[in-house]
């Protein structure tokens, strides 16, 4: 069933109203008709079963049949501090990270990041927001993950507030992800992933000074985008957020 995040103002009593791009998608792309059903999400943890009553390119209306708690949100809050990558790779991380349960994305500028400018054009940020929202709809999330403006790595560490902070590093060979998590009940997790060239030793030392754990992901060297999703999934699994443990 198709899912749409909608502004709270679009839910009026027992009625849903869709306009603009969403109305166009329902009417022209999905070719839906009165009587079809969709799910509306208010981005506050609730979802609404809706039966459409009128469909046009300008406006879609429907009757709300049921209000229920959205079940697609993990109970552990994960923030992914992701070094800026080439466009398609970074956007892939936003999409797949949303699917696997990341709650917040913070693009970071590191020593080896190709672009060193923290100022991102509004159009690019809007595109990133759209990718995240569409991935959240597709994957059954109850909230759209937040996206912050890019920051420099040092500033990210200074602002760090998390029960556990993890930074995979190819030069670390002793500390595993499981060992870093052992005995720590975390409700908030910060995950730092470097650029294509990886972190430099000085950045790892800075991470450790701010309480982060440098960990190994095994003997194979993963691409930055692969490491981001693989580690996010492992963290979700270790905290009972995947499969029957959720």
Give the pLDDT score at 114: 83
Give the pLDDT score at 122: 87
Q: Phi first, then psi: give them for residue 50, nearest 5 degrees.
A: -130, 135
Give the pLDDT score at 217: 95
Give the pLDDT score at 215: 97
Whole-angstrom distance, CA of residue 199 vs CA of residue 59? 49
Question: 3-69, superfamily in CATH?
Answer: Hypothetical PUA domain-like; domain 1 (2.40.240.20)
Token pair of 50 as six digits: 């809706």
Q: What is the mean pLDDT of residues 211-226?
A: 95
Q: Where in the chain is the domain with CATH 3.40.1280.10?
A: 77-245
Tell me the pLDDT of the chain averaged across its residues. 94
Q: Where in the chain is the domain with CATH 2.40.240.20?
A: 3-69
Least confident stretch, 23-27, 171-175, 181-185, 214-218: 181-185
Q: Tell me the pLDDT tens digit for each residue of 47-78.
A: 999 999 999 999 999 999 999 998 889 889 99
Is a pLDDT exceeding 60 seen at residue 246? no
Name residues whose C-beta falls within 8 Å of residue 203's C-beta, 6 or more positions apart in sequence. 110, 111, 153, 194
Going by C-alpha positions, the residue among 116, 118, 85 that lies closest to residue 229 is: 85
Residue whose tokens read 């670390």:
172
pLDDT-derived band at 213, boundaries 50, 70, 90: very high
Q: What is the mean pLDDT of residues 90-101?
A: 97
pLDDT-derived band at 184, boundaries 50, 70, 90: confident
Q: What is the mean pLDDT of residues 179-184?
A: 91
Token pair of 91 as six digits: 């956007």
Give the pLDDT score at 58: 95
Name residues whose C-beta falls within 8 Å of residue 104's C-beta, 6 or more positions apart in sequence. 77, 78, 79, 80, 145, 146, 147, 148
Whole-angstrom distance, CA of residue 59 vs CA of residue 13? 17
Pick the CATH number of 77-245 from 3.40.920.10, 3.40.1280.10, 1.10.540.10, 3.30.110.30: 3.40.1280.10
For 52, the 3-state DSSP assignment is strand
pLDDT-derived band at 245, boundaries 50, 70, 90: very low
Q: Where are the beta strands (DSSP E) in the chain?
A: 3-5, 11-12, 15-19, 37-41, 46-55, 59-69, 77-83, 104-109, 146-147, 151-152, 164-168, 188-193, 213-215
Alpha helices (H) in the chain, listed in sequence order: 20-24, 87-100, 122-138, 153-158, 177-181, 201-209, 224-238
Rg from Cα positions in the chain: 20
């Amino acid at each position: 069933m198709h899912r749409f995040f909608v502004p709270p103002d679009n839910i009026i009593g027992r009625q849903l109203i869709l306009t603009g791009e969403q109305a166009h998608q329902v009417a022209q792309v999905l070719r839906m008709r009165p009587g079809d059903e969709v799910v509306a999400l208010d981005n506050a943890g609730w979802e609404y079963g809706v039966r459409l009553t009128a469909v046009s390119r300008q406006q879609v209306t429907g009757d709300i049949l049921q209000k229920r708690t959205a079940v697609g949100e993990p109970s552990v809050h994960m923030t992914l501090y992701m070094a800026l990558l080439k466009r398609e790779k970074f956007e892939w991380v936003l999409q797949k990270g949303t699917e696997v349960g990341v709650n917040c994305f913070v693009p970071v500028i590191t020593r080896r990041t190709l672009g060193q400018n923290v100022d991102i054009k509004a159009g690019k940020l809007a595109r990133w927001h759209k990718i995240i929202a569409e991935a959240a709809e597709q994957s059954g999330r109850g909230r759209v993950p937040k996206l912050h403006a890019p920051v420099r790595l040092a500033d990210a560490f200074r602002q760090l507030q998390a029960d556990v902070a993890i930074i995979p590093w190819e030069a670390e060979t002793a500390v595993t992800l499981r060992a870093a998590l052992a005995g720590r009940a975390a409700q908030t997790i910060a995950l730092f992933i470097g650029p294509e060239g990886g972190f430099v030793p000085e950045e790892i030392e800075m991470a450790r000074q701010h309480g982060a754990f440098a960990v190994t992901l095994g003997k194979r060297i993963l691409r930055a985008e692969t490491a981001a999703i693989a580690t996010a999934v492992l963290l979700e699994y270790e905290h009972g957020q995947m499969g029957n443990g959720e």
